[in-house]
Amino acid sequence: MVPLTTGFTQETPLHPAAKSLIGELFAKGWADPAKVHRASRELSILLGKAKATFAEHLNVDISQLEFLGEPDLGFQLGIAGMISEKCKIAHSQIDRQPVHAICRELSRSGHEVEILPVDKNGQIKIGQSKPEVLIWQVANGETGNFQAEQPAGYRTFLDCTTSGIDTDIPKDYEVALFDSTAWTGPSGLGILVIKKSNNWKYPLAHIDAIRSPKTFSIPLMIASAVALENYAKELNKARENAKVLSTQFIKTLQGSISNLQIASDLENRQFKYLSLIIPGIDGEQLKNELAESGIDIDSGSACKSADLRPSHVLAAMGFETTGNIRITFKPEHTSADIKQLADAIITKTNSLKN
């Protein structure tokens, strides 16, 4: 059976290159990089190299980078920092839970909030909407679907927490948020890019002229840069491998499971993510049955908010939600792993239906 530590869930182990250095980085990370002691100078050099790595791969200037110890805080800082009094805001039905929560609060405080619909492929429909601030999800965390077209001419907040560097980052935006886990970096690190600081202001209470709380872990930040650099080198190979495995998996299931629905776009997506609906079964029950056999998958919504379950994303796209399962293909997976996974799902599905 597939080891539980490398199953098909969205959670991904730390990149081996970063994992091999993490102990050393924490051993050095106690120093204050702003001071002149030897340990501080050494850490400062590592910190500078890490920032340069982020700037290169995110295609921004080092001065535009802010690091956060709580990635989801980036939604609050980024969006609220762009908002002027009573301005109109637009976001999509398939946005992440923090976006929905922030925009609900902004609506209560008098802002006009428009929720943009999506089509069957999860493509956001802007139509004739003219928001002053547009919140734009580059890729969806449940389906992996990319937005085929990127908006231009808007004051845009980009949600890149799922997409990372797996696709070209749109150039026309003011603020963007990334999550370290998108490139198999450590969790607990968000990267906020403030590209146009003249139109943004720090929205939380503060004394000094700051743009973030500055409370992130330096060792985790450097480890994330190591993961990002290596992930970028391996990206094309990993993407192609995921596409091959995903195609194999879909063909096997389609030949054995009737009425199988695929919520993920077959071409325009992160191939490592696949969202399926098997009508007539309970996705959570199927997940549990597979777990007992040593195979881990995901089911239901990628969001953790109780009011957005089982999947506001699939519901917005017009799919059923009860039979939803989500598969994540990883670089270490082989064709034999995928056959084992598909066979197990087919067997368990037939058992549950009977």
Please check whether residue 82 is in contact with residue 199, taking contact to mean a CB–CB distance below 8 angstroms: yes
Shared domain check, 302 and 286 = yes
Shared domain check, 182 and 60 = yes
Express each pLDDT in 129-156 by its tens digit.
899 999 999 999 999 999 998 888 899 9
Shared domain check, 215 and 139 = yes
In this prediction, residue 302 carries a pLDDT of: 58
Shared domain check, 313 and 280 = yes
In this prediction, residue 304 carries a pLDDT of: 53
Number of Cα atoms under 13 Å in the Cβ half of residue 312: 17
Q: pLDDT-based confidence at 36, cuts 50/70/90?
A: confident
In this prediction, residue 277 carries a pLDDT of: 96
Shared domain check, 259 and 192 = no
Whole-angstrom distance, CA of residue 174 vs CA of residue 214 = 21
The amino acid that residue 225 corresponds to is A
In this prediction, residue 343 carries a pLDDT of: 96
Shared domain check, 337 and 310 = yes
Shared domain check, 191 and 83 = yes
Shared domain check, 239 and 222 = no
CATH code of the domain covering residue 48: 3.40.640.10
Q: Number of structural domains, the chain? A: 2
CA dist 251 to 63, 260, 269, 273, 339, Å? 47, 11, 17, 16, 11
Q: pLDDT-based confidence at 35, cuts 50/70/90?
A: confident
Whole-angstrom distance, CA of residue 301 vs CA of residue 100 = 14
Other beta carbons within 10 Å of 73: 18
Question: Which of 12, 9, 11 is CA-nearest to residue 328?
Answer: 9
Please check whether residue 102 is in contact with residue 134, taking contact to mean a CB–CB distance below 8 angstroms: no
Other beta carbons within 10 Å of 47: 18
> Phi, psi (5° rounding) for residue 95?
-65, 165
In this prediction, residue 4 carries a pLDDT of: 42
In this prediction, residue 85 carries a pLDDT of: 81
Shared domain check, 287 and 202 = no
In this prediction, residue 149 carries a pLDDT of: 86
Beta strands at 133-137 and 273-277: parallel, antiparallel or unpaired: unpaired
Residue 172 has pLDDT above 80, yes or no: yes
Beta strands at 273-277 and 112-116: parallel, antiparallel or unpaired: unpaired
In this prediction, residue 301 carries a pLDDT of: 63
Terminal CA-CA length for the chain: 24
Query: Across the chain, which distance is largest between two alpha carbons, in Å?
Result: 71
For residues 36-60, average pLDDT: 94
CATH code of the domain covering residue 267: 3.90.1150.10
Q: What percent of the chain has pLDDT over 90?
A: 81
Question: Which of 136, 254, 186 is CA-nearest to residue 15?
Answer: 186
CA dist 20 to 30, 132, 221, 242, Å? 19, 45, 15, 25
Q: When comparing pLDDT for 198 and 303, which is higher?
A: 198
Domain that holds residue 271: 4-9+234-353
Shared domain check, 165 and 206 = yes
For residues 105-118, average pLDDT: 95
Residue 291 has pLDDT above 80, yes or no: yes
Shared domain check, 182 and 53 = yes
Express each pLDDT in 187-206 by its tens digit.
999 999 999 889 899 999 88
Residue 5 has pLDDT above 60, yes or no: no
Q: pLDDT-based confidence at 209, cuts 50/70/90?
A: confident
- Angle (CA) 30 34 39, round 5°: 45
In this prediction, residue 309 carries a pLDDT of: 60
Beta strands at 298-299 and 273-277: parallel, antiparallel or unpaired: unpaired
CA dist 263 to 93, 145, 247, 275, 279, Å? 15, 9, 14, 5, 13
Question: Which of 92, 98, 163, 160 is CA-nearest to residue 131?
Answer: 92
